[in-house]
């Protein structure tokens, strides 16, 4: 395995971890105004992700930094082509982070309700835009021979990419509902299970439509980089199985199943792309690959040494954080 392939795999792992962790994070934010019947219940919901949300976003920052250092042409083309969408996403994430900090600074109901809805917006918009972005990576975008994106913001919006955006929102919301059922107790946990059960079937339907659209709108059948084999099938099966676990109140298994669906969906995207990182819809030969978009071998070598030292430390720390805050949360365990 050469270093180009190794770093493609590492970036895929980073994005898989990001979508698995930030997926339930976004889902909880989307559900906040609807499941929290009063201020205390909304505080309970926020506290389920309070110790984790900023750490989950580090996976995205690390993935972006890895792309910048390992595949600078990929970074330049994607960030210039998706610039307006990324600015909108960044603004939504800023609002989301501010909402976490500002909500409890004032006890007035109107103040708290406003920031609760900002948490909703700051969670919904990134989930939608990430789905649209992944759809564009699979479908292809206009890239010329000079590795330049030649479209505009509206080029990124097509029926297929909007469909992948809707699927991302549906799956993250389901993932978040199952997470809440796992992390809360009493009426809140039961309400989260009910929400998860109601979300499950629509998510399955959207998944089937999205998979069909992928085969019709992309070259997934004709130009596979690495055949994902049973991975997408296993991901779909996990989503189907999650419904049984939700119905039978097996919260841990239900969360594992939705997590597998999220992770396997991202793995499928990267396997389908390989060795490409961005597909040119103008000419397949103009697509960016792990070779024509990469840094020098020396840069990749240095990055590999640094990653081998620090990545295990970060993983151990984040794992310890989840272990410490593993207990369920209820009304008695929160403060205004």
Give the pLDDT score at 325: 83
Q: What is the pLDDT of residues 303-329, one digit of tens each?
A: 899 888 888 888 898 888 888 888 888
Q: How confident is the model at residue 221 (pLDDT cuts 50, 70, 90)?
A: low
Average pLDDT (94-118) is 91
Least-confidence region, from 39-48, 172-181, 209-218, 224-233:
224-233
- Tens of pLDDT, residues 281-308: 888 889 999 999 999 889 999 989 988 8
What's the confidence (pLDDT) of residue 60? Answer: 87
| Domain locations along the chain | 3-323
pLDDT for residue 155 is more than 80: yes
- Give the pLDDT of residue 216: 86
The reported pLDDT for the residue numbered 25 is 92
* Region 47-72 average pLDDT: 89
pLDDT at residue 217, as a whole number = 84
| Contacts (Cβ under 8 Å, ≥6 apart) of 212 | none
Closest CA to 173 of 91, 262, 74: 262
Q: Is the pTM of this model over 0.75?
A: yes
> Residue 12: its pLDDT value, please?
94
- When mean pLDDT is compared across 34-48, 98-112, 143-157, 216-230, the lowest value belongs to 216-230
pLDDT for res 124: 96
Cα angle 236-242-245, degrees, rounded to a multiple of 5: 155
The residue among 320, 325, 265, 274 whose CA lies nearest residue 130 is 265
Helices (H) and strands (E) in the chain, counts: 11, 2
Residue among 296, 299, 293, 250 nearest 274 (CA): 293
**Residue 10: pLDDT band with limits 50, 70, 90:** very high
Question: What per-residue confidence (pLDDT) applies to 335?
Answer: 60
d(CA 78, CA 201): 34
pLDDT of residue 28: 95
Is 86 within 8 Å of 76 (Cβ atoms)? no
Residue 108 to residues 32, 34, 95, 112, 265: CA-CA distances in angstroms? 18, 19, 19, 6, 42
| Position 56 confidence tier, pLDDT thresholds 50, 70, 90 | confident
Per-residue pLDDT at 224 exceeds 70: no
What contacts 184, CB < 8 A, 6 or more positions away?
44, 45, 48, 192, 328, 329, 330
- For residue 34, the model assigns a pLDDT of 93
pLDDT reported for residue 218: 82
């Amino acid at each position: 395995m050469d270093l180009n392939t190794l770093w493609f795999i590492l970036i895929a792992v980073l994005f898989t971890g990001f979508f698995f962790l930030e997926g339930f994070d976004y889902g909880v934010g989307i559900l906040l105004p609807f499941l929290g019947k009063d201020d205390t219940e909304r505080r309970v919901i926020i506290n389920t992700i309070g110790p984790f949300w900023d750490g989950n976003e580090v996976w995205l920052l690390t993935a972006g930094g890895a792309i910048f250092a390992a595949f600078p042409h990929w970074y330049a083309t994607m960030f210039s082509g998706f610039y307006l969408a990324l600015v909108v996403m960044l603004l939504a994430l800023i609002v989301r982070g501010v909402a976490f900090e500002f909500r409890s600074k004032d006890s007035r109901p109107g103040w708290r309700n406003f920031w609760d809805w900002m948490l909703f917006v700051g969670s919904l918009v990134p989930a939608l835009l990430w789905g649209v972005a992944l759809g564009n990576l699979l479908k292809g975008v206009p890239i010329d021979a000079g590795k330049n994106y030649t479209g505009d913001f509206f080029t990124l919006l097509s029926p297929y990419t909007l469909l992948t955006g809707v699927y991302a929102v549906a799956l993250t919301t389901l993932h978040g509902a199952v997470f809440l059922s796992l992390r809360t107790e009493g009426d809140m946990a039961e309400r989260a299970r009910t929400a998860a059960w109601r979300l499950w079937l629509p998510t399955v339907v959207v998944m089937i439509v999205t998979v069909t659209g992928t085969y019709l709108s992309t070259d997934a059948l004709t130009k596979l980089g690495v055949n994902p084999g049973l991975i997408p099938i296993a991901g779909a099966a996990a989503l189907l199985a999650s419904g049984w676990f939700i119905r039978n109140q097996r919260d841990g298994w239900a969360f594992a199943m939705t997590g597998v669906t999220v992770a396997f969906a991202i793995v499928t995207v990267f396997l389908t792309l390989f060795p490409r990182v961005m597909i040119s819809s103008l000419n397949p030969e103009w697509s960016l690959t792990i070779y024509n978009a990469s840094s020098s071998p020396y840069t990749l070598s240095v990055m590999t040494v640094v990653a081998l030292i620090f990545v295990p430390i970060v993983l151990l720390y984040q794992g310890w954080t989840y272990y410490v805050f593993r207990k369920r949360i209820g009304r008695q365990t929160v403060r205004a």
